[in-house]
Structure formats: C-alpha cells, structure tokens
Amino acid sequence: MYGKGELRFIGIVESAGEEEAKVRIFPEFYDALKGIDGFSHLIILYWIHLRDNEKERSVLQVVPRRHTENVKVGVFACRSPSRPNPIGLCVVKLMKAEGCVLTVNGLDAFEGSPIIDVKPYIQGMDAVPDAYTPEWLSH
C-alpha cells in the first residue's frame, strides 16, 4: 500500500486566521477522527509548502525572527520554516470537530498547507515542567 518512508498528506488547511482556522481532513481518514472531540488541544503537523524548494531546504543556519538578539543558530535549534524537511508543528485549541473539518485556534500554518498528522495534546505527556531554553530566546 505505502512505500517505506513514504509521506502521505491526510488533509489541508482550508482557511487560516489568528483567531480561527479550518483544517479539512480527507474523507478516507474520517474514521481516524473518532474521539478527537474529547480533547481541548491538538498537535498539528503540516508541510510548509511555501518553503518546499531546494534553496529553502538547503538552509542550515538562520538568525531567528521575533528575537532582539542577533544570534545565528542551526535550524534544528529554532522554529525556522526553512529546513531540510519543511515540517511545521503547532499546538492548537480545538474549537469544534464537524465531519472532516476541525475548527482550531492558534494554527500558524498558511491556507493550502498540507496536513501530515493530527495528534491529541496530552497534558501529562506533552508538557515538560523542568524544560529550559537558551538565553537568546528569552529576549
């Protein structure tokens, strides 16, 4: 059915906005949504399709945007959309699930972004109480 290492998109960002976004899961994956409405938050993995080109996939170091310090770091040390595999990850609040459409809050993907996977956010498993970040990130 699937080749080893083959990635298959399961849906698409139908509409994007800061307050509300709609993620449409393809009908063949509808059964995989059973029980999703019991979670307040989800983890959405998506393909950063606007950066899927050889130039952006060759970037290994960047100066992260949104930070006042001018520190160059590797793409694995930040959330840069330019990376060898343009995969985005976002924790979102699930507002409602109707059929194949998930209405969420907090999605940072663009309209048309293919969805790779949806996972439930599980507080005891996904939150790390003693996690820390480098100093440059706090400026």
Count of domains for the chain: 2
Please tell me the total number of residues recorded for the chain in this structure.
139
pLDDT confidence of residue 67? 63
pLDDT confidence of residue 107? 96
pTM (predicted TM-score): 0.91
Q: CA 4 to CA 11: how far, in whole Å?
A: 20
Does 35 share its domain with 17? yes
Within 10 angstroms of residue 91's Cβ, the number of other Cβ atoms is 16
Instruction: Specify whether the CB–CB gap between 17 and 92 falls below 8 A.
Output: no
pLDDT per residue as tens digits for the range 81-102: 999 999 999 999 999 999 999 9
Residue 128 lies in a domain: no
pLDDT per residue as tens digits for the range 14-70: 999 878 999 999 999 999 999 999 999 999 999 999 999 999 999 999 998 776 668
Structural domain containing residue 80 = 53-85
Cα Rg, the chain, nearest whole Å? 16
